[in-house]
Amino acid sequence: MMKLDKDLVAIQEVRNLIKRAKEAQQELEQYSQAEIDNIVKAMAEESVGAAESLAQAALEETGIGVYEHKIVKNLFAAKSVYNRIKDMKTVGIIRVDEAKKVSEIAAPVGVIAALIPTTNPTSTTIFKALIALKARNAVVFSPHPRAVKCISQTVEMLQKAAVKAGAPDGIISCITEPTLEATNLLMTHQDVNVILATGGSGMVHAAYSSGKPAFGVGPGNVPAYIEKSAHIKKAVEAIMLSKSFDNGIICASEQSVICEKSLTQEVKQCFTEKGGAFLTPEDIPKLEKVLFKPNGGVDPEIVGKPAVYIAEQAGIKVPADTKVLLAELPGVGKEYPLSREKLSPTLAFYEVEGWQEACELAKKLLILEGTGHTIALHSQDTEVITKFALEKPASRIVVNTPSALGGLGATTGLMPSLTLGCGTFGGNSTSDNIGPQHLLNIKRLAYETQNAEEMEQELFAKKEATGKFKDTQLINEIITEVLKKLA
């Protein structure tokens, strides 16, 4: 099939999917809370059962990550996310403030365009489908071209589960020919109401440039600071677990370790014992050449690959049981490529004199790439932790926990999510972990709490007492006329 024909077919498919989605959403909007909850529960249960097969499909198609860890991510979306949202009110009156006489009423946003990355294809699809339908929305997925099959398989499973539980057909769908033109049409179509964008910075920028309300996320470049009061062994174990989880592709995973010089020897020894391999200065340029393309972007052929494989491609000798590669760097910036997000089990390593220097270095790393995302702290000093939290441009400051899992809300009390906002720090519309609450319009029913005439009389009684009105009668008449017009 010629490219023009392929583009035309893809565009027509998008139009058809959006039309069906809109019709299905208008029907779903009439469902009760109990009906919605039953549908979402069925989708979650089906996803739990399919966690292993979907993980295998994702690994076979993309070649990225670790099979067992992909199962964990699928279960995280199907269980942890579901358990947090299952009792959330998303239909009708969801909150009442008796004192202020204000009731909040939930309304769906409509049809959602959901863009899915190649790094977390099946888990992100499960997550976005659950939160979309929980808020009575329809969702049309645009899969990454390198993960079309596994994403389509996930969408088909979710659609069947939802329809079997009573949802209208077409409420969940997926583009089968994900061309650039098709994705652009999906994002700009008049019947699409919100965009949920997870992926590269270019795609997220396109979502924000579409003219539609969008929830996009920026890159992560998470600094992990090991402060002098930290439990060193626990800190290193957390970083190693996090950085090797699914071969380092979660956006909240650590990218740099900042270590106080007084701890360096012990920290390095712990890393080595846990499967970390420190590179020689001569090996660092070799690693840079393999990880990054000439234009500066991360090489997709290396993303999510094991540490030993990456070392082999770079011509670097490391022990066979190596889980993470570490490179000691003297600075931050474009001239130090490893100070950026690497999407692989590789870490930059820095030494600092104290927490003040660590604070400034962490800020530099975030500003370079990852502003507004996440910082990981390993410390028992609440004063230092608080100062980091107050001063740093990060939306999530996770403490004494693996950052990849803590940022997602798996090992912390944060909202379990696979879409992490970076706030205006990173050019995003929210700093939250995205959930159903972001996919609702909230209407507010407000009763009078103060009579307008009484308010007017009270106002002028105070003004006359202070002598600030020279002609209170004239002003009174003007305001009375304004109130009448407003009424």
- Give the pLDDT band of residue 1 (cuts 50, 70, 90): very low
pLDDT attached to residue 474: 59
- Quick one: average pLDDT of 362-379? 94
Q: How far is it, in rounded angstroms, from Cα 209 to Cα 204?
A: 9
Q: How much is the mean pLDDT over the chain?
A: 92
Residue 470 above 80 pLDDT?
no
- The C-alpha atoms of residue 395 and residue 87 are separated, in whole angstroms, by 26
**Distance between CA 65 and CA 286 in Å, rounded?**
22
- Catalytic positions, please? 251
User: Mean pLDDT, to the nearest integer, of 13-37?
Assistant: 98
Question: Is the pLDDT confidence value at 277 over 50?
Answer: yes
Contact, 29 vs 108, CB < 8 A? yes
Instruction: Quick: pLDDT tens for 445-461.
Output: 999 988 877 766 766 66
Residue 471 confidence (pLDDT): 58
Question: Does residue 195 have a pLDDT over 90?
Answer: yes
Q: Give the contacts of 409 (CB within 8 A, at least 6 positions apart).
A: 80, 84, 415, 416, 417, 433
CA dist., res. 360 & res. 354, Å (int): 10
* Backbone region of residue 361 per phi and psi (left: phi > 0; alpha: psi in -120 to 50; beta: other values): alpha
At residue 370, the pLDDT reads 86
CA 292 to chain centre: 24
Burial of 445 (0-12, 13-18, 19+ CB in 10 A): exposed
Q: For residue 223, what is the enclosing H or E element?
A: strand 222-226
474/271 Cα distance (integer angstroms): 79
Confidence (pLDDT) at 107: 98
Check pLDDT > 70 for residue 97: yes
pLDDT tens string 107-155 = 999 999 999 999 999 999 999 999 999 999 999 999 999 999 999 999 9
User: In which element (H, E) is residue 285 found?
Assistant: helix 284-291
* Cβ 81 vs Cβ 48: under 8 Å: no
Average pLDDT, integer, range 414-432: 91
- Domains annotated for the chain, with CATH where assigned, are 3-217+435-442 (3.40.605.10), 222-411 (3.40.309.10), 455-486 (no CATH)
